[in-house]
Structure 1
Amino acid sequence: MERTLSSDLQFNNPTAQPSSVVLRTLASLSLWQRRIASRHQLARLDARLLADAGISEAQRYEELSKPFWR
């Protein structure tokens, strides 16, 4: 059975470096996950904690209205 070079490099070579596309994808997923978590925390803050952080209700609403990829 014949194997191709690309499949051999991707799946059977433990020393092969991940491609830049894979690294960028993982970086994006990580960033999106952090945004989701921080926006959940922002949503749970009460008025006193928002004031302590210098965040208005309008700013909070604006941030919470954004999709996770922005």
Structure 2
Amino acid sequence: MSFQSRDRLIIEQNLFVTPAAVAPPQPSLRQRLVTTIAAWRERTAARRCLAQMDARSLREAGISPAAAAYESGMPFWRKMGELR
């Protein structure tokens, strides 16, 4: 097989790619809103649990009390940071 024939196979494979296979459809506004609200609820619950943990539990998890206090005081719309 020559170099030229391999190039031809690659070019022919690209002819069968459809636009739907290249770019996935964008989620609707409703789907994005539901996903965002679910993430916010999860962050709120995680921060609430983090605030209720005692020093021994935090130490077992490898989280400093200062990092736990800082993270539990963050608003729900901010992403969770590093706790170690």
- Shift in Å, 1:66: 1.0
What is the TM-score with the length of structure 2 in the denominator? 0.59
Identity score, percent: 42
Cα distance in 1 for partners of 2:47, 2:71 equals: 7
Partner of 2:59: 51
TM-score by length of 1: 0.69
Gaps of 5+ in 1: 1-18
For CA contacts below 8 A with separation 6 or more, give which structure has more relative contact order: 1
2:51 alignment partner, SS class: helix
Flag the structure with larger Rg: 2
Alpha-carbon deviations, 1:16-36, whole Å to 9, x = none? Answer: xxx611100000000000001
Equivalent residue, structure 1, for 2:14: none
| Match for residue 28 of structure 1 among 14, 29, 36 | 36
- TM superposition outliers: structure 1 runs of 4+ over 3 Å: none
Over the residues paired in the alignment, what is the CA RMSD in angstroms? 1.1
Gaps of 5+ in 2: 1-26, 79-84
Q: How many residues align?
A: 52
1:11-64 deviation per Cα after TM superposition (whole angstroms, max 9, x unaligned) = xxxxxxxx6111000000000000011111111111100000011111011111
